[in-house]
Amino acid sequence: MENQKVFCISCFLKPYRIFKDKFPLLSFISFRLITMLVILFILGWALFALMALAPGDIVDQMMQQQLMSQTENGGGSGRDSIFSEEQLAKMREEMGLDKPFTIQYFRWLNRVLVHHDLGVSLISKAPVSFLIKSRIVNSLVLNLISLVFITIFSFLLGVYFSSKAGTKVDLAATFFALFFHAFPGILLLILLQLFASVTSLFPVTAYPDFPASENPLKFIFSYSYHIFLPLFASFLGGIGGTMRMIRSTMLDQMGMPYIMALRSRGISEKRVYLNHAFRNTLNPYITGSANLLASLFSGSLVLEIIFSYPGIGRLMYDAVMQQDVNLVLANNMFISALVLLGMTISDILLAIVDPRIRYGKN
């Protein structure tokens, strides 16, 4: 029996090794995509488990809202005056909440994968896919703009200050980078909002009060004006660590023997910096950019709440507070898929840039 198992495993591994040897990059990409799907599957199951462990459910939330509404209107109070135990049990059965969380998860997977249906919000009764589509674009625009600005200025400043290592300018830049990197993001957002409120130079909300379809050109200018302070806070929080990483990587490269060899051949310092040392800073940045994007998405939750920005983070916060299972799960899975996809893309870019990765062990 053991010989048969070993034979079956070897039958599977042999084609895989042949495929890996002939197509190393494609094999690397396939392995990363499969790993991403497995992680998403486990993450979804864990989310269902956490929601099941949370006290109460959406039916209890609805009952409490009805009780509060009846009390405010001067009606009687008491659980039996609104819902009976049979009615509550029937509501849980209709929503599928009477089943174990594992069964609920596989039912949700079947609905998503087979029918391409994310369900409806248990509170607003609107389709979950519509709610996510209406918010995800705003969060993507905000975080991608932050990532682009952080990337551009991190490379410019990191390369510049690496050439000024040890000078007063470099020490001052390092101090401010560490200061803003360690400064609490939520406190920075609150201070900026107070600044906007006191000075009236900027709006206290981060989104225009009219739709883009009304006047697209006016909306772009208004959006840029509204988003400036939140974007500035995100930029200050992200540039410190990234700039210091690029600066330290450049300094490490400038001390390598191949740099000394290039200088001994009379190659200009500009070419040494930009054509040789700079290219070798891409690997650590590509690896760190996925983590940076993940931190931007996680940080945008607080940003969207404080500045009333209609993004996916604020939608998820409202869904968690209301225990809207369908919306919470879809939000978390969607954001997790974006983060994992970013990490997978960074791994693929690393494999393209550095052949040693794709020819190495997965």
- Residue 186: the pLDDT is 84
Residue-level pLDDT at 28 = 74
Q: Please compute, for residue 281, the number of CA atoms within 13 A of its CA located in the half-sphere on the CB side.
A: 27
pLDDT tens per residue across span 202-239: 888 888 888 777 888 888 889 889 889 888 888 888 88
Does 290 fall in a domain? yes
Q: State how far the alpha carbon of 58 is from the alpha carbons of 55, 122, 329, in Å.
A: 10, 7, 14
| Domain range for 342 | 135-324+331-352
Q: Does residue 78 sit within a domain?
A: no
Q: Which pLDDT belongs to residue 278?
A: 75
pLDDT digits 0-9 by tens, 149-164: 888 888 888 888 887 8
pLDDT of residue 6: 47
What pLDDT does 362 receive? 44
**In the prediction, which pLDDT does 31 show?**
81
pLDDT of residue 81: 47
Q: Does any domain span residue 59?
A: no
CB 333 within 8 A of CB 51: no
Nearest to 58 by CA among 311, 301, 327: 327
Domain assignment present for residue 166? The answer is yes
- Looking at residue 127, the DSSP 8-state letter turns out to be B
- Is 212 within the bounds of a domain? yes
Low-confidence ranges of the chain (pLDDT < 70): 1-21, 23, 54-98, 122-123, 288, 290-295, 298-299, 323, 353-362
pTM of the predicted model as reported, rounded to 2 decimal places: 0.69
- Centre a 10 Å sphere on the Cβ of residue 298 and count the other Cβ atoms it contains: 13
Structurally, how many domains does the chain consist of?
Answer: 1
Q: What is the CATH number of the domain that holds 238?
A: 1.10.3720.10
Handedness of CA 79, 83, 87, 88 (dihedral sign): negative
Name, in order, each residue with C-beta under 8 angstroms of 273's C-beta and a sequence gap of 6 or more.
159, 163, 250, 254
Residue with tokens 């590509």: 286
111 lies in a domain? no
Write out the two tokens for 111. Answer: 């609905």
DSSP string, 43-86: HHHHHHHHHHHSSS-HHHHHHHHHHHHHHHTT----STTT--HH
- Give, in degrees to the nearest 5, the angle at Cα 102 between 97 and 104: 35
First to last CA, the chain: 29
Tokens representing residue 18 in the block: 């042949």
The confidence score (pLDDT) of residue 92 equals 65
Structural domain includes residue 40:
no
| Residue 181 covered by a domain | yes
